[in-house]
Amino acid sequence: MDDTEHTIEHLLEYAIEIEYKAAHIYGTLSKLFPQVPGLTAFWQGLKEDELEHANILHETRNLMTPEQLLQDPGRKAWKDMGNLQLMLSKDLLATVNTLEDAYQLAYDLEFSEVNTIFQFLTVECIPSGKTKQLINSMIDRHLNKISEFNQTFGDKDWRRGTFIHQIQAQ
């Protein structure tokens, strides 16, 4: 990225792309463990959350003035975005063989810079206090899904013994 791309508008574009990549990852994970009751719906719920995040980022961009979109969001936002782009440039799904691998991928994704950037772009860039509260609440609910994974889908040892479902070629 050169200096002419260091605008909130570009950061929004990259963030939207990342939300769609995360949604794709969760959509794929939803097909890998059909033998675990409730897990397909769990991953689909995370996918839907990511698509909602992308829509919110689109709406945020539409609410901003041209002047706001041209502002530089700062060095930290660009550093976080660079870290995310590097992380997501890899084939993250290739490392998933067990449910524990899938959980770790989701955990690493959600507790990386993804939500930090989303929160910066929505909470810091939207003037309404009520909207900020709604966004923060949505992020908390989303992260709680990952945090509650252990109670819902077994402990680490059980997850390590739960392998992806191999689809047979017909």
Q: Tokens 């989701």: give the residue.
A: 106
| pLDDT per position as a tens digit, 122-149 | 877 766 665 777 788 888 888 899 989 9
- CATH classification at residue 79: 1.20.1260.10
**Does a structural domain hold residue 144?**
yes
**Does a structural domain hold residue 169?**
no
**Does a structural domain hold residue 138?**
yes
The total domain count for the chain is 1
Q: Mean per-residue pLDDT for 56-85?
A: 91
Range of the domain at 32: 3-160
Query: Per-residue confidence at 167, pLDDT binned at 50, 70, 90?
Result: low
Which three-class secondary structure state does DSSP give residue 163? strand
On the question of pLDDT at 1 being above 60, the answer is no
**Does a structural domain hold residue 85?**
yes
Helix axes 129-147, 99-110, angle to 10 degrees: 160
**Does a structural domain hold residue 168?**
no
48: left (phi over 0), alpha (psi -120 to 50) or beta: alpha
In this structure, are residues 22 and 114 in contact, taking their beta carbons and an 8 Å threshold?
Answer: yes
